[in-house]
C-alpha cells in the first residue's frame, strides 16, 4: 500500500472515531429508548382508563346515592383520555404538564371512590367488584413502574445531550431538546391527615377541574388495555 493510501485510510479511521465520539449514535439511541418507555407509560394509563367504565357501572348498581363521586370519576377519565401526548410533545413542558395534571385528577377521583365504597360491605363482597379492584391495583403498580422507567430513560437522554462530546451532535445535527420527566404532585411528600370518623356515607368533595380553560372536550377512549 502506498504512503498516500495509508494516510487516507488513517484519515477515514480518525474521522469515524470523531463522528462516533461526538454522539452521532448515542443521542438517537437514548432518545429512542426514552420514547419506548413513554409507550409503556401510555399503555399502562390506557389499561387503567379501560377499567374505569366497568368499575363505575358496578359501583353504581350497589351505591346509587354516590352519583357525585361516580360523575367525578367519569369526568376525570374523560379529561385524562382527551390529552394525547406524542413523542414529539415530550419536550413541551406545558403539554406534558397538562397530561400529568389530568392523570393525577383521575388518580384522585379513584382514590375518593375507594374511600366511599368502604361504606358498602355488600359491594365489597361482590366477586366482580373485587376482581375489578384487583385489576385496578395491579394497573396502578404498572403505571408506577412505567413512570419510573420512563424517568430513568429521560434522565439518561437529557444527560447525554448536555454532556461533551455528545452535546455537539445534539445541538449541531439533531437540534435535541430535553424531555420532560414526571414529577411528584405538590404536597405529595407530606403524609395526609385521614379521619374516617365523620364519613357517614357522605360524598367526598368533587375533584377540581383543570386550570387550563381551553382543554378540549373529552371523549372516552375505546382502546383495550394490555
Is 18 within the bounds of a domain?
A: yes
Q: What is the pLDDT of residue 190?
A: 44
The domain tally of the chain equals 1
Is 138 within the bounds of a domain?
A: yes
CA-nearest of 33, 93, 79, 46 to 207 is: 79
Residue 59: give its domain's CATH number: 1.20.1440.20
pLDDT tens, the chain, 226 aa long: 566 555 454 444 334 444 445 678 999 999 999 999 999 999 999 999 999 999 999 999 888 888 999 999 999 999 999 999 999 999 999 999 999 999 999 999 999 999 998 889 889 889 999 999 999 999 999 999 999 999 999 999 999 999 999 999 999 999 999 999 999 875 544 444 433 333 334 343 344 444 444 433 334 443 434 3
Q: What is the pLDDT of residue 1?
A: 59
Is 192 within the bounds of a domain?
A: no
Q: 200-220 pLDDT, tens per residue? A: 343 433 444 444 444 333 344
Range of the domain at 139: 9-174
C-beta neighbour count of 33 within 10 angstroms? 17
Locus of grid cell 346515592: 65
Is 147 within the bounds of a domain?
A: yes
Which cell is 131 given? 376482581
Is 199 within the bounds of a domain?
A: no
Q: What is the pLDDT of residue 67?
A: 92
Is 137 within the bounds of a domain?
A: yes
Angle at 15 between CA 158 and CA 170, to 5 degrees: 15
Half-sphere exposure of residue 163: CA atoms within 13 angstroms, side-chain side: 11
Is 187 within the bounds of a domain?
A: no
Is 121 within the bounds of a domain?
A: yes
Torsion, CA 91, CA 97, CA 99, CA 100, rounded to 10: 120
Beta-carbon contacts of residue 14 (< 8 Å; ≥ 6 apart): none
Amino acid at each position: 500500500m502506498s504512503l498516500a493510501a495509508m494516510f487516507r485510510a488513517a484519515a477515514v479511521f480518525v474521522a469515524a472515531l470523531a463522528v462516533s465520539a461526538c454522539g452521532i449514535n448515542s443521542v438517537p439511541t437514548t432518545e429512542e429508548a426514552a420514547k419506548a418507555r413513554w409507550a409503556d407509560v401510555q399503555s399502562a394509563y390506557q389499561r387503567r382508563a379501560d377499567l374505569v367504565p366497568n368499575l363505575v357501572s358496578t359501583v353504581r348498581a350497589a351505591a346509587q346515592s354516590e352519583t357525585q363521586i361516580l360523575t367525578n370519576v367519569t369526568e376525570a377519565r374523560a379529561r385524562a383520555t382527551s390529552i394525547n401526548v406524542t413523542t414529539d410533545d415530550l419536550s413541551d413542558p406545558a403539554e406534558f404538564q397538562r397530561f400529568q395534571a389530568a392523570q393525577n385528577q383521575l388518580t384522585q377521583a379513584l382514590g375518593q371512590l375507594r374511600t366511599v365504597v368502604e361504606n358498602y360491605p355488600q359491594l365489597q363482597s361482590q366477586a366482580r367488584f373485587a376482581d375489578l379492584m384487583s385489576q385496578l391495583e395491579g394497573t396502578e403498580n404498572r403505571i408506577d413502574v412505567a413512570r419510573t422507567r420512563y424517568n430513568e430513560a429521560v434522565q439518561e437522554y437529557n444527560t447525554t445531550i448536555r454532556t461533551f462530546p455528545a452535546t455537539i451532535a445534539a445541538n449541531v445535527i439533531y437540534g435535541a431538546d430535553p424531555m420532560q420527566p414526571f414529577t411528584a404532585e405538590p404536597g405529595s411528600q407530606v403524609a395526609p391527615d385521614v379521619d374516617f370518623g365523620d364519613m357517614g356515607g357522605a360524598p367526598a368533595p368533587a375533584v377540581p377541574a383543570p386550570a387550563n380553560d381551553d382543554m378540549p372536550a373529552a371523549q372516552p377512549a375505546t382502546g383495550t388495555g394490555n
